[in-house]
Amino acid sequence: MGKKKQLATCKVSILNRLGLHARPANQLVRMAARFDAELTLIRDDLRVNGKSIMGVLMLQAEQGAELMLEAEGIDAERLLEAVVQLVADRFNEEQPGEVT
Amino acid sequence: MMERSLSGIGASQGVAIGPARLIAERVLVVKPRTIPLKNIPAELERFARAIEQTAVAIKKIQLKANKLTATHQAEIFEVHLSLLQDPMLVDRTREYIRTQRINADYALLQALQEYQKLFNELGDETLQDRLVDVKDVGKRLIEFIQGYKRTNPFKFQTPGILLAHNLTPSDTIHLDRNKVLGVATELGGIGSHTAILTRALGIPAVVGVPRLLASCSENETIIVNGASGEVVLRPKQKTIHRYTLKQQAIARFEHSLRPLVDLPAQTRDGKRIHLLCNIELPEEAADVKAIGADGIGLFRTEYLFLSKNKLPSEMTQATEYLKAAKTLKPLPVTFRTFDLGGDKLPADLVVEREDNPFLGYRAIRVSLDKPRLFKAQLHAILRASIHGNVRLMFPMISTLQELLEAKELLEEAREELRKKKIPFDEQMPVGMMVETPAAVMLSDELARHVDFFSIGTNDLTQYALAADRGNLQVSHIYNQLDPSVLRLIALTVKNGHAAGIPVGLCGNLASDPLATILLIGLEVDDLSMAPSILPEIKNIIRSISWRGLRALGRQALRLNSYEEVRHFAAQLLEQWVEEIPY
């Protein structure tokens, strides 16, 4: 492995009830910013930069939405693992009745 | 021009009469300029600096917003901060500066417009709200790039009534109570920043007045009636006269409360009720004496843990607590050990996001889980105890074990100080908050282990009725005067008194004049409230007779709904107290 450039892709579906609204979107970009690799999120034919808060919000991914993830860079695989984990954890924020 | 009356929502009571001061939004002007190649690095630098300055500005607002409001409103600023790192905005602007050789503000404007276009194409309403955020941050960035310094638009030369479309949290923080006689805005509700802050400052205010700015011109005389929500434009002499009389009546009423400062809070037939204050900052301690309170019933210690970036040391805490204890001496100061968690968490204390933070890791639960952090606070409070009349209480107790564990840690803390020969008050009273239904049900047992109870009605109501008052869909269920809450209070008082300990109340209910007579009837021994309301509550207590109140209290316990209790309480108040002129 070493410092080689990696290209990684995977698919996730959004689990938290309110979807990718402001707070989870914010968590996602803050986390992605800690990695070198570029992150692209794809929903149907809309491609956005995963490190752009407004880009992520533009996806308007609701609960159940399927997203394709693409990462490119030396830590691409680790980046995707982290994103998958965050999505699986429902962005640590399932609060019934909450509206943001 | 004719007199005209507009109606909005009364946000802060009182009457203001004066010249209108319209706050207009400043229009930004951004023009393209060609930048010579050698100056491109400097232009990029200018942009980088503006980003930093904007981040600092946002963080400042965020901090104040955090202090003033609950969690969710402050959260949007996190998105604003992320926007400053957003490659679609930032990288693109840099790219335009380099490739088009243009000034930073114009480059940024282009990037912003691209954003706007994209958002419009996607055309969703919630996204439009986000566009407001993009514009807000963009505007600030451009101002910093242009070196424009936002002046405080509320610095009036002569006093006037402030009229604006909307006031942002950063705006309201600048309000000067000597120059701003009143406030009226087109947007905003009863829970808006404007409402909360004007109430805190005692400035009459009406919010949510449609077409306000278009209906009024600069310098015209207007009247703001904060109780009725009415705004009168171009009032006739007769109207002005009527409102001036009203103003005078209010002033007379407030003036009439002033001599109460030196008089004790006791009923006509001599029953003494202790009126205490809830405070959040040590600076407020001096006011407590000035308004004639009997002490501090709730000294919230969270600010020490939330305002700085790192957790406060034992000595930092001891210094703060000592200041308050000395200022109040010989009056009591009741320190509540930190109630962190729920919606308040210090940056250092990393805690996993919870599904139900209010049913989760907070208050005494955090304390018992972090004994070192907790003991540092206990040491600090003990150290202060020798310098005044200090009392300590634990928040959010829901089991006997929690109370016993907390007391055990307190005993360890005492022992450690004894070993170090540091003096403290061995007799310091130790109490607990009763704010969970579990604690109420166990109050006979719990009362045997503490020196006093203090009922926290804010949490008790939320837990008893299982309703979050911040949630608009259920907030109508959240009523501190609900019969169920009254019964919980009555049971706590009964069990406390049976064990021979005093029972106080420090929730919002203590600050509600409507509730005062009922609470006295339920035999609550002391009430701890917002300092601003204390004179009014004292006036009520001095107007009533204690005899017969207990029977009324028992009668209230049999009522069936919040509405009935409210009606009952209002009748009691009317019967005893002269009409309040608001």
- What is the per-residue pLDDT across B266-304, written as a single tens digit (0 to 9) for each? 999 999 999 999 886 666 777 788 888 999 999 988 878
User: Measuring CA to CA, how many Å separate B118 from each of A48, B111, B114, B122?
Assistant: 11, 11, 6, 6
Strands B452-455 and B274-279: unpaired
In chain A, which residue's Cα lies nearest the Cα of B82?
A53
| Under 8 Å between Cβ of A43 and A67 | yes
CB contact under 8 Å between B88 and A100, yes or no, is: no
Which residues does residue B161 pair with via DSSP β-bridges, in sequence order?
B20, B182
Strands B389-394 and B430-434: parallel
**What is the per-residue pLDDT for B136?**
80
In chain B, which residue's Cα lies nearest the Cα of A100?
B72
Q: Which residues of B touch A (CB under 8 A)?
A: 72, 75-76, 78-79, 82-83, 85-89, 115, 118-119, 122, 124, 126-127, 130, 134, 352-353, 355-357, 468, 471, 473-474
Residue B389 contacts by C-beta under 8 Å, 6 or more apart in sequence? B295, B325, B328, B329, B330, B331, B332, B333
Tell which of A34, A52, A56 to mutate to test the B interface (max B CBs under 10 Å).
Answer: A52
CATH 3.30.450.20, applies to A15-92: no
What is the rounded CA–CA span in Å between residue B452 and residue B480? 22
Sequential DSSP letters for B538-563? HHHHHHS-STTHHHHHHHHHT--SHH
CB contact under 8 Å between B130 and A93, yes or no, is: no
- Sketch the domain layout of chain A as residue ranges: 15-92
Structure-token match 């009520």, residue found = B540
Kindly list the residues from chain B whose CB atom is less than 8 angstroms away from the CB atom of residue A95. 355-357
Alpha-carbon gap: B62 to the closest alpha carbon of chain A (Å): 15
Q: For B33, which DSSP code? A: -
**What is the per-residue pLDDT for A1?**
47
Two tokens, residue A51: 């490190």
Kindly list the residues from chain A whose CB atom is less than 8 angstroms away from the CB atom of residue B76. 22
Residue B153 contacts by C-beta under 8 Å, 6 or more apart in sequence? B23, B171
Please give, one letter per residue, the 3-state secondary structure of B486-518.
HHHHHHHHHHHHHCCCCEEECCHHHHCHHHHHH
User: Measuring CA to CA, how many Å separate B240 from each of A2, B15, B221, B245?
Assistant: 81, 11, 9, 9
**Interval B392-426: pLDDT, tens:** 999 999 999 999 999 999 999 999 999 999 999 99
**What is the per-residue pLDDT for B154?**
67
CB contact under 8 Å between A23 and B83, yes or no, is: no
CB contact under 8 Å between A51 and B89, yes or no, is: no
Confidence band, pLDDT 50/70/90 cuts, at residue B363: very high
Confidence band, pLDDT 50/70/90 cuts, at residue B553: very high
Kindly list the residues from chain A whose CB atom is less than 8 angstroms away from the CB atom of residue B473. 97
CB contact under 8 Å between A95 and B356, yes or no, is: yes
Which among A54, A93, A96 has the least Cβ separation from residue B130? A54
What is the rounded CA–CA span in Å between residue B100 and residue B290? 64
CB contact under 8 Å between B78 and A26, yes or no, is: yes
What is the rounded CA–CA span in Å between residue B197 and residue B203? 9
In chain B, which residue's Cα lies nearest the Cα of A26?
B79
What is the rounded CA–CA span in Å between residue B529 and residue A72? 58
Confidence band, pLDDT 50/70/90 cuts, at residue B461: very high
Q: For B190, which DSSP code? A: T
Query: CB-based contact (8 Å) between A92 and chain B?
Result: yes
Two tokens, residue B333: 């100061």
Please give, one letter per residue, the 3-state secondary structure of B108-141.
HHHHHHHHHHHHHHHCCHHHHHHHHHHHHHHHHH
Structure-token match 């009226």, residue found = B184
Which among A52, A58, A100 has the least Cβ separation from residue B127? A58
Kindly list the residues from chain A whose CB atom is less than 8 angstroms away from the CB atom of residue B356. 95-96
Kindly list the residues from chain B whose CB atom is less than 8 angstroms away from the CB atom of residue A33. 85
| Under 8 Å between Cβ of A41 and A59 | yes
CA–CA–CA angle B462, B448, B488 (5° rounding): 25
Catalytic residue among A20, A21, A41, A75: A21
Strands A66-73 and B15-22: unpaired
What is the rounded CA–CA span in Å between residue A81 and residue B533? 55
**Interval B565-580: pLDDT, tens:** 999 999 999 888 866 6
**Interval B145-159: pLDDT, tens:** 988 776 666 677 789
CB contact under 8 Å between B82 and A60, yes or no, is: no
**What is the per-residue pLDDT for B150?**
67
In chain B, which residue's Cα lies nearest the Cα of A57?
B127
Number of residues in chain A: 100
What is the rounded CA–CA span in Å between residue B56 and residue B68? 19
Confidence band, pLDDT 50/70/90 cuts, at residue B352: low
**Interval B10-33: pLDDT, tens:** 888 889 999 999 887 666 788 999
What is the rounded CA–CA span in Å between residue B348 and residue B372? 14
Strands A66-73 and A6-13: antiparallel
Q: What residue type is B457 in one-letter code?
A: T
What is the rounded CA–CA span in Å between residue B180 and residue B18? 10
| Under 8 Å between Cβ of A77 and A39 | no
Catalytic residue among B193, B274, B379, B387: B193
In chain B, which residue's Cα lies nearest the Cα of A46?
B122
The 3-state DSSP composition of chain B as helix, strand, coil percent (nearest 5) reads 50, 15, 35
**Interval B220-236: pLDDT, tens:** 999 999 888 899 999 99
Which residue ranges form the domains of chain B, and what is each CATH number?
A: 4-23+156-255 (3.50.30.10), 37-145 (1.10.274.10), 263-576 (3.20.20.60)
CB-based burial, A21-39: b 16+ in 10 Å, e otherwise: bbbbbbbbbebbeebebbb
Q: Where is B296: in which H helix or E strand?
A: strand B296-300
- Residue B184 CB: number of other CB atoms within 10 A? 31
Q: For B461, which DSSP code? A: H
User: Measuring CA to CA, how many Å separate B86 from each of A22, A55, B506?
Assistant: 14, 9, 45
Which among A33, A54, A97 has the least Cβ separation from residue B134? A54
Write B125-128 long-range contacts (CB < 8 A, 24+). B126/A21, B126/A60, B127/A57, B127/A58, B127/A60
SS3 B291: coil
Kindly list the residues from chain A whose CB atom is less than 8 angstroms away from the CB atom of residue B79. 22, 25-26, 53
CB contact under 8 Å between B82 and A26, yes or no, is: yes
* Mean pLDDT of the residues in chain B: 87
Tell which of B71, B88, B127, B358 to mutate to test the A interface (max A CBs under 10 Å).
Answer: B88
Total CB pairs under 8 A between chain A and B:
68
CB contact under 8 Å between A97 and B473, yes or no, is: yes
What is the rounded CA–CA span in Å between residue B222 and residue B217? 10
Alpha-carbon gap: B136 to the closest alpha carbon of chain A (Å): 14
CB contact under 8 Å between B474 and A97, yes or no, is: yes
Alpha-carbon gap: B75 to the closest alpha carbon of chain A (Å): 8
Two tokens, residue B134: 């993009």
Task: Mark whether B255 is an active-site residue.
Answer: no
CB contact under 8 Å between A60 and B468, yes or no, is: no
SS3 B226: coil
In chain B, which residue's Cα lies nearest the Cα of A86?
B353
Percent of chain B residues past pLDDT 70, beyond the cut = 88
SS3 B161: strand
pLDDT tens sequence for chain A (100 residues): 456 788 999 999 999 888 888 888 999 999 999 999 999 999 988 899 999 998 998 888 888 999 999 999 999 999 999 999 999 988 877 544 333 3
Q: Which of residues 14-53 of A touch B (CB under 8 A)?
A: 21-23, 25-26, 29-30, 33, 49, 51-53
Two tokens, residue B348: 């250092």
Task: List the one residue out of B581, B578, B532 whose CA is nearest residue B14.
Answer: B581
CB contact under 8 Å between A95 and B357, yes or no, is: yes
Catalytic residue among B80, B274, B379, B506: B506
* Section B64-85 average pLDDT: 71
Sequential DSSP letters for A58-98? HT---TT-EEEEEEEETTHHHHHHHHHHHHHTGGG---TT-
CB contact under 8 Å between B76 and A22, yes or no, is: yes
Q: For B449, which DSSP code? A: G
In chain A, which residue's Cα lies nearest the Cα of B354?
A93
